[in-house]
Amino acid sequence: MITRRTAVGAGLAFTALAGTAGVSVYGWDAPRNAGAIDALLIDESMAMPRSLAALIGASPRAVPIVGITLDAAGHARLARVLDSSHAIAGISSGATLFCLERIAWDHGFRLTGRSEQSACDPSDGACRQELAAFLAGAYPSAASPSPLVRAYRPSRADGTLHAWVMQKSGRPQFRQSRWEA
Amino acid sequence: MKLPPNVSEADFTAALKEFANIVGDQWLFTSDEDLDLYRDSYSILWGEADERTASAAVAPDNADEVVALVKVANKYRIPIYPISTGKNLGYGGAAPAWPGSVVFDLKRMNRIVEIDERNAYVVVEPGVSYFDLYDYIQEKGLKLSIDCPSPGWGSLMGNALDGGVGVTLASYRSHFDAQCGIEVVLPNGRMMRTGMGAMPGAKTWQQFKPGFGPRIDGLFKQSNYGVVTKMGLWLMPSPENYATGVVTVPKFHDIIPLVDIIGRLEQSKIVQGLWSLSSPTTGTAAFAAHSGASSMPTDPKILAILNSPDGVDMNKLDVAANEAGIPFWAANFNLYGPKKFIEAQWDCIRDALGEIPGARSKLNQIRRLPLPPEELAKMRDLGPLGIPTLRTFDLGPMISYDGEDVVGHIFFSPVIPRTGEAAIEAMDAFAAIVRKYKLPCPPLQFPTAIFERAFLFAVGLPVTRSPVVNAKVREIIRELVAMAAARGWGEYRTAPAFYELIMDTYSYNDHALRDCLNAIKDAIDPNGIMSPGRYAIWPRHLRDANG
């Protein structure tokens, strides 16, 4: 399981992350006027997001990384992140994004940014360049998302990776911890 | 502002104002952005004029608010559509059955009202999901287990009311049959409790299902006679141990004695856990349509037969499998309970199925529960262990159809006889449709033994965002339904787009059942406000209007 890291510094700074294998990922700078990302969610059901998380996790300037699995443990973990966050980013399959988006709705979040990328090997140079662009496409934005942001194939078998951002919209939160009458 | 059908703008505005007074402004939703969330993501009518969309949504916090809201709706004759968590994708989701209805979103009502370990039951509100109850039981360390459908984000109550099913022991798999006691707000705003709950201060509401007089709980399953606000459900005591076992039989037609013998074991309550069919020969796994877990065989002769454009010749496949030494069928069993009990069950299963020539059996290691988390993390299907997941949502092998991205699935869900002959007939019939329309489904799909005495042959068909392709899929479903009805197979559940189609197949004695359901509707909901059209039950004014 990917370890949740403590946030160091405010805002996003994935620039020039140096992993232990000497691999760098460039490009995911938050715009000055954008809000900070509270956590990066990584789909643990796919190999590439896991290796990407390892790269990001090796940086001393990383935001908290939360591994997402579509089971009871993952659901509980996700609920805690959603309760305590205002903006989250993630890298996942379309199938996982589909589930996360709907769960996040009930916590007042809306999908505000998304880009997609065919899976590739992150140790490969060309792939790293693509990843830079891939991550650059995901940051908090005050602008209304285009309909295309929300139109994606909710599949895992297609091998597509999605980078995305969700933000609390100010809408009411349906899901609040309240089990006992 | 989108208006409900047959409601004036003045009345709708007045009703919305009264709704807001009851729940608070923030829990009334009328903007397009908010109402978008109540569209059915898997709608086969997406973007078309007939898509079922809401005119507004309102989210009460408790049953008293539901009572007040229903009274307002009844006063202004506003059609309403209660949902629990609205997650039954493939069967309608959060969208209303009648376009323009006001969705009553009950997911704020997520209280676990009572849980009794000694008598193994729980009383829940509509918004309690399988995840919620599982987490609660774990947190409290209760020795109770749940039976969940493959998507764990759904509501226990909603799933039961929709006729949903799970995957553990037979007594708990049919979720409506596992309920014991309902609290419901009738269309006139009067609250009622069923069974023993009708007695004030009853001590056995969740312990004795029949109550006194007619047992009317069933009226609230797949219907539109009230808003259910509480439900009792029987839970399974946590089993001490769990084991899987497999029995293989060599020939294709061995499915006939295989099903018969297992059926006897089930009727005798020797087999109680869900068993499933898979095929080592074809590589088809149980629930192939949803899991995508099938793997193609490697034997070249078998592969050639499976890939024949004319369909699979089972006789040739039988011969090829025999030559390769691969059994055709595997029956996979889930066993629960004390170690001695599992071993005794397995002895009976092995001995009974050993009568089939060439049968081989293997009981895997009996494992103490709960399994360690690291082991659970590697398992794809946790449902048999009573652990909810969302892993079913990868849509398996369905990526595109007719050049369009697949965005969801819609179920064709006929109930077929629990015989090997019927299983073969259904497999053949469906495989022919898959070939005819080049559907992105595994050509060979197997029935499931979820129901106690019948097979379910649930097949997921692709949903896209293309009206043209979706129209084609709707026609395929019409063909499948007609094919099934001609064989005496009826659907147990369907999406709103097909309520009428399916109800029309239940036409014995000039639609006597439908007429009876409509007569009850007229008596209990004379203004026709409650979920009009749900499961093809219509109030009089809409029956008259629609001829």
The tokens for B5 are: 């059908």
Q: Domain extents for chain B? A: 9-105, 112-237, 241-368, 400-504, 506-546
Interface test with B, best of A153, A162, A169, A171 (most B CBs within 10 A): A153
pLDDT of residue B468: 97
The tokens for B151 are: 């998507």
Q: What pLDDT digit, counting tens, does each position of B3-27 carry?
A: 999 999 999 999 999 999 999 999 9
Listed range (B158-172, B180-194, B440-454, B508-522) with the worst mean pLDDT: B440-454
Give the minimum alpha-carbon distance from A72 to chain B in angstroms, rounded to a whole number: 6
Higher pLDDT, B547 or B146: B146
> For residues B499 and B222, is the Cβ–Cβ distance under 8 A?
no
Beta bridge partners of B368: B241
CA distance B203 to B196: 8
Contacts of B107 in chain A (CB under 8 A): 106, 174-175
Give the largest Cα separation in chain B, rounded: 77
Instruction: State yes or no: pLDDT of A163 exceeds 90.
Output: no
Class in CATH terms, B506-546: mainly alpha
pLDDT of residue B311: 78
Nearest to B64 by CA among B191, B198, B231, B201: B191
pLDDT of residue A162: 87
**Residue with the two structure tokens 């006597």:** B512
Instruction: State yes or no: pLDDT of A32 exceeds 70.
Output: no
This prediction has a pTM of 0.91
pLDDT of residue A173: 83
Does residue B496 belong to the interface with chain A, where contact is any CB pair within 8 Å?
A: no
Determine the average pLDDT of the residues in B148-172.
94
Q: Is the backbone of residue A112 left (phi > 0), alpha (psi -120 to 50) or beta?
A: alpha
- CB-CB: which of B27, B107, B405 is closest to A153? B405
Looking at residue B21, its amino acid is N
Does residue A171 belong to the interface with chain B, where contact is any CB pair within 8 Å?
A: yes
Instruction: Output helix, strand, coil percentages for chain B, rounded to the nearest 5.
Output: 40, 20, 45
In this structure, the dihedral spanned by the alpha carbons of residues B7, B12, B15 and B20, taken in order and rounded to 10 degrees, is 150
Q: What pLDDT digit, counting tens, does each position of B107-145 carry?
A: 999 999 999 999 999 999 999 999 999 999 999 999 999
> For residues B425 and A105, is the Cβ–Cβ distance under 8 A?
no
The reply to whether ipTM tops 0.95 is no
Burial readout B465-491 (b: 16 or more C-beta within 10 A, e: otherwise) = bbeebbebbbebbeebbebbbeeebeb
CA distance B378 to B457: 28
Q: What pLDDT digit, counting tens, does each position of B76-89 carry?
A: 999 999 999 999 98
The tokens for B135 are: 């987490």
Determine the average pLDDT of the residues in B373-394.
86
pLDDT of residue A4: 35
Instruction: State yes or no: pLDDT of A31 exceeds 50.
Output: no
Q: Cβ-count burial of B372 within 10 angstroms (0-12 exposed, 13-18 middle, 19+ buried)?
A: exposed
Q: What pLDDT digit, counting tens, does each position of B209-248 carry?
A: 999 999 999 999 999 999 999 999 999 999 999 999 999 9
The tokens for B394 are: 């990868």
Do domains B241-368 and B400-504 share one topology? The answer is yes
- The pLDDT confidence band at residue A12, using thresholds 50, 70 and 90, is very low
Residue in chain A nearest B128 by alpha carbon = A179
Instruction: State yes or no: pLDDT of B388 exceeds 80.
Output: yes
Give the minimum alpha-carbon distance from B8 to chain A in angstroms, rounded to a whole number: 28
Residues contacting B11, CB < 8 A, separation 6+: B76, B77, B78
Q: Would you list the DSSP string of B283-350?
A: TBPTTHHHH--------HHHHHHHT-TT---HHHHHHHHHHHT--SEEEEEEEES-HHHHHHHHHHHH
Listed range (A106-120, A143-157, B124-138) with the worst mean pLDDT: A143-157
Q: Evaluate whether the domain defined by B241-368 bears CATH number 1.10.10.10.
A: no
Does residue A102 belong to the interface with chain B, where contact is any CB pair within 8 Å?
A: yes
Decide the pairing of beta strands B241-249 and B360-363: antiparallel
- The pLDDT confidence band at residue A6, using thresholds 50, 70 and 90, is very low
Helices (H) and strands (E) in chain B, counts: 17, 23
Contact A70 B393 (CB under 8 A): yes
- The pLDDT confidence band at residue A57, using thresholds 50, 70 and 90, is low
CB contacts < 8 A (A, B): 99
Nearest to B114 by CA among B183, B45, B34: B183
Of chain B, the percentage scoring pLDDT greater than 90 comes to 84
Determine the average pLDDT of the residues in B510-515.
97
**Residue with the two structure tokens 């059209």:** B533
Residue in chain B nearest A171 by alpha carbon = B26
What average pLDDT does chain B have? 93
Q: Which fold does the domain B9-105 belong to in CATH?
A: 3.30.43
Instruction: State yes or no: pLDDT of A99 exceeds 90.
Output: yes
Looking at residue B41, its amino acid is S
Contact B34 A171 (CB under 8 A): yes
What average pLDDT does chain A have? 70
CATH number for the region B400-504 comes to 3.40.462.10
Class in CATH terms, B112-237: alpha beta
Determine the average pLDDT of the residues in B292-301.
68
**Residue with the two structure tokens 């309102």:** B58
Contacts of A178 in chain B (CB under 8 A): 110-111
Chain A residues 130-159 with a CB less than 8 Å from chain B: 151, 153-158
